[in-house]
Structures are given as C-alpha cells and as structure tokens.
Amino acid sequence: MISLVFLLSFTTITSEASLAPSDQIFQYIDAHQHEYVQRLREWVAIESDSSNLLKRQDLIEMIHLAEERIKYLGGTVELAELGVQELHNGSTPRLPPVILAELKKDPKKHTVCFYGHLDVQPARLEDGWASEPYNLTEKDGSLYGRGTSDDKGQILAVLNAVEALQQYELPVNVKFLLEAMEEVGSPGLLKLVEERNSTFFSDVDYIVITDSSWISNKPSITYGTRGNSYFLIEVECAKKDLHSGTFGGIVPEATSDLIYLLSTLVDSSGHILIPGIYDAVAPLTEKEKKLYEKIEWDFKKLKDTFGIRNFTYNTKEELLMRKSRYPSLSIHGIEGAFSAPGTKTVIPARVIGKFSIRLVPHMDRSVVTKQVMDHLNKKFAERNSPNHIEITNVQASKPWLSDTDEPLYLAGRKAIEKVFHTEADLTRIGGTIPIVSHFQDVTGKSIMLLGIGGPDDAPHGQNEKINRYNFIEGTKLYAAFLQELAST
C-alpha cells in the first residue's frame, strides 16, 4: 500500500522534471515526509546489531535493502567483499559486504562520496526503552528506534534528498560507501579504502560523513577531531603475586611504583605535566576564537545528564576549546592489580597502567611518545626502584582538521543558511573517528562531517531517536548542499 502511494506521487512529479528551484524541492520533501518515515521504519525494523554474531544475516539483509533503494534511484551498486573476521575465539565469520555505489557519472560535474553505516548498537526493550527499539515509534515529534539517528536515518535522508533532486536534476555525481560493521571497529574497511583509492575514489572530489550530530539544536558542521595516543606502563616487582602479610615491607611494590608514575602525568585541573607536551599545539587565532563564541552549547545540561560533579572550567568557550582543540590526558585504569569487589591482600607482581593523550594539530605522535618516555624514565630513575618498567605506545590516531573556508564547507554553510536561516556552528569534536583521518591519509580528499542528528538523540543509549524536524529539514539540508556543491 505504501509503495503504491509512493509510485503514484513519483510518477506525478517526474513529468515536471526540469530545473531545480529550492522551494519546489523543499515542498516535494515536505509532501513526501510520510514515505520517508515509512522507509525509516522498514530500515529500523532490521536488527542490524553488528556486535551480535547471531545477527550477521540481518546485516546482510540491511545491506541489500540499501542496495535496493540505491538501484531504485538508478544507481549502480557493487557489493565489495571484505573476507572474514578473525575473532578471539578462533572463529572466522564472513564479514558483511560494503556498498560501493554510484549515481550519475558526468565528468563535467563534481563528485561527492557519502560515507555512512547501516549497523547499529545493541538494544533491548528491557534495557529501559519506552518502546520496542526495532519498531519505529513516533511521540511528541520524535521518531524513536535504534538507528534512527546513528546512522540509518542520516543515510536515508541523503537518499531521499537525491530522490527529491532527481525530480528535476541531480546536480552533482553522488557516490556512497556504506558499511555494516562500524560499531565494532570497521574490520577490513581501511584496507578496502586503500585498494579502491585509484579506482572508486579516483574521481571523488569530496567526502561527506553523515555519521555525526549537532552539539545543540542549531545545525553544525564538524571540521576537526582530536587524535589519540595510548600508552601502557608495565611495572614488575616479582614473577608471582605476593601475599602482603608475608612480603609487605620487604618488597618495593610494582603497584606503588606505577601509582607514583601515573601521579606525575596530570594535575587536578587537567593540565598535563609532561615537559614540552604543549609546544606543538597550534596557537589560537582570533578567527578560531570567534567560532567558539558563536557556538550554541548547553554545557550545564550535559553536566546534569552525566551527573558530573563539576567541570574544570566555567565558560562555554574555554570548555569547548579544552575538549576539542587542546590535548588532554586520561588515566583509564590498571591491569594486573586487584580490581574485583572485596578485600584481597595481594601484592601484584606485574601491573600495567593505561593512559592516553588526545592529540591536536600539530602534535606529532613520535615526538609525543618521546616526551612521554623521557618524562617517565626520568621520574622512575629519580625514584630509585629496583623494579623493571616498560613503557609502550600501543596505538595512535592522528588529529584531523579542515579549513572551513574550503569549497566543501562553503557549500555546507550556505545550505544550512538556506534551510535553517541561521549561520552554521562550526565545531570540532574531542574524540577520534579513525575513518576520517584514514580517508584523509589515503585519498587526500577534502572531507566534512555533515550530520543531521540532534544533541540529545542518545545514539548509543536507550530510547535513541531522531526528531521528525531534523529528519525532514535534514533531508532538505542534504538537497540544498548538493545544489550548492554544484555551483562551487
């Protein structure tokens, strides 16, 4: 029944296809919002939880559903195989394929590639959902369901925007890279990007990532992320755990050494105590400073949501900068020490402290690693302990930063002004999205994060939702963006 309605209206409009006045595109989108919500309902109904091995078939079904939609819009789709996943238990399940799709191929036009993911986080009614997580439920203007915001709803909004534009003319070439394993670390994807760099990506001018949300109810564009460098400090005082009755007082304890080393890393205000660590941090310009002033952000609400005792700073601007444009150091925990409830009287033989430093432009991983090693080795030498230490930098990802005056960003900003009648908030996020810096490193393309999710969508939590407003106006935003991009 729904499909029938859709086909009828589709047929009606295509007869008028010609130029693409924004108003008419927007009217078309408004008129079809019921269908868009129905499509989202169908997508949400598939339990594409990539963390659950029993749901691998649902992932494949979800890929096929998206494939079908793209083909319906006239696109070509390749389902690229990623091979098998190597799990800790030795099993090697097949990875779901990745969609590499293409709509329109006009060498005179720009090509933009959208990246998004079709898998979701786990969700169960009994976790505290007010409605069935895989049954789209509308209430008070919000569309509740797992994946509505992260990331099915955002991908669908792009596809719906393409469809609306097609009633007249799709103004640019559009590609899609859609995967179904993002929530579990995108195994195999980075390799695929490398393999397809000289083919699929060769004619791509811009990469837009939908997997992003606004930090307030005002639309925002993300132009930077922090990187991260993860360190382990291993300290060993013996080959076997010791009893604190028998050995307490005669053994220089590994945990005590580790606690000492960890205590030299950061002060109570979050200032990192490693010499030289701030040297390479890009200075704050007046232009950038102004961006923070403009951004709408309710940090008091965030404080309440997470029950945070207090922040390290009192102003919106300072907090935004601290969480996105300055490095930070977090101590995550200790492996090998006693961590269970109860009161064990152990002297752990070997403990591993874990901390990481969020990297920002223009910090260099290897310079930071040297600074960390030098600092810890010096402090340990001062302590004069007979124990053995080993400091390792186990993983690192680079920070990513774009210029908000690049054509891609100008198109995004103009589109936001057109649809929302407001200037876009230009934001940087404190976390790391490995695929972003990987796209940048491998393809060298201009990249932007343009999402339509709201600040309170709870992407990984209970009662995930997207507002109908965000979903429909967001569809207009993607349509306007593609039009703006055509004229750059």
Site for a copy of itself, residues 8 to 47, rule: CB under 8 A? none
Which residue, 80 or 251, is less far from a copy of itself as judged by CB?
Answer: 251
Which residue, 10 or 311, is less far from a copy of itself as judged by CB?
Answer: 311
What span, in angstroms and rounded, lies between the C-alpha atoms of 346 and 339?
Answer: 11
Which residue, 83 or 333, is less far from a copy of itself as judged by CB?
Answer: 333
Catalytic annotation on 119?
yes
Q: Does 238 bind a copy of itself (CB under 8 A)?
A: yes
Q: Does 252 bind a copy of itself (CB under 8 A)?
A: yes
DSSP class per residue in 167-194:
TT---SEEEEEEES-GGGT-TTHHHHHH
What contacts 290, CB < 8 A, 6 or more positions away?
none
Q: Does 449 bind a copy of itself (CB under 8 A)?
A: no
Q: In this chain, which stretch among 42-50, 132-140, 354-362, 447-455 interacts with a copy of itself, using CB under 8 A?
A: 354-362
What's the min distance (Å) between Cβ of 12 and a copy of itself?
Answer: 46
Binding test (CB under 8 A) with a copy of itself, winner from 384, 403, 405, 421:
384
Q: Site map for a copy of itself, 393-412, x if CB under 8 A?
A: -xx-----------------
- CB count in 10 Å sphere of residue 345: 11
Q: Site map for a copy of itself, 285-324, x if CB under 8 A?
A: ---------------------xxxxxxxx-----x--xx-
Which residue, 257 or 464, is less far from a copy of itself as judged by CB?
Answer: 257
Q: Does 332 bind a copy of itself (CB under 8 A)?
A: yes
Residue in the structure block whose two tokens are 């969609």: 99
Left if phi > 0, otherwise alpha if psi is -120 to 50, otherwise beta: which for 249?
Answer: left
What's the min distance (Å) between Cβ of 173 and a copy of itself?
Answer: 33
What contacts 203, CB < 8 A, 6 or more positions away?
107, 111, 173
- Decide: 273 and 263 in contact? Cβ < 8 Å: no
Q: Does 246 bind a copy of itself (CB under 8 A)?
A: yes
49, 67, 151, 182: which one is catalytic? Answer: 182
Q: Does 430 bind a copy of itself (CB under 8 A)?
A: yes
- Residue 293 token pair: 């002033």
What's the min distance (Å) between Cβ of 488 and a copy of itself?
Answer: 31
Binding test (CB under 8 A) with a copy of itself, winner from 95, 180, 329, 408:
329
Nearest to 85, CA basis, from 73, 100, 97: 97
What span, in angstroms and rounded, lies between the C-alpha atoms of 471 and 151?
Answer: 12
Binding test (CB under 8 A) with a copy of itself, winner from 85, 387, 402, 470:
387
Q: Do the strands 220-225 and 350-359 form a parallel or antiparallel pair, or are they unpaired?
A: unpaired
Q: Does 273 bind a copy of itself (CB under 8 A)?
A: no
- Residue 74 token pair: 């006239």
What's the min distance (Å) between Cβ of 279 and a copy of itself?
Answer: 17
Q: In this chain, which stretch among 5-13, 124-132, 157-165, 430-438 interacts with a copy of itself, using CB under 8 A?
A: 430-438
Nearest to 231, CA basis, from 403, 359, 92: 359
- Residue 198 token pair: 């000289």
What's the min distance (Å) between Cβ of 442 and a copy of itself?
Answer: 22
Nearest to 212, CA basis, from 20, 13, 477, 443: 477
Which of the 8 DSSP states describes residue 53? G
Q: Does 65 bind a copy of itself (CB under 8 A)?
A: no
Q: Does 5 bind a copy of itself (CB under 8 A)?
A: no
Which residue, 29 or 265, is less far from a copy of itself as judged by CB?
Answer: 265
Distances (CA, A) of 110 to 181, 207, 474: 29, 11, 22
Nearest to 461, CA basis, from 67, 23, 144: 144
What span, in angstroms and rounded, lies between the C-alpha atoms of 293 and 298?
Answer: 13
Which residue, 141 or 248, is less far from a copy of itself as judged by CB?
Answer: 248
Q: How many residues does the chain have?
A: 488
Which residue, 387 or 475, is less far from a copy of itself as judged by CB?
Answer: 387
Which residues belong to the active site? Answer: 119, 182
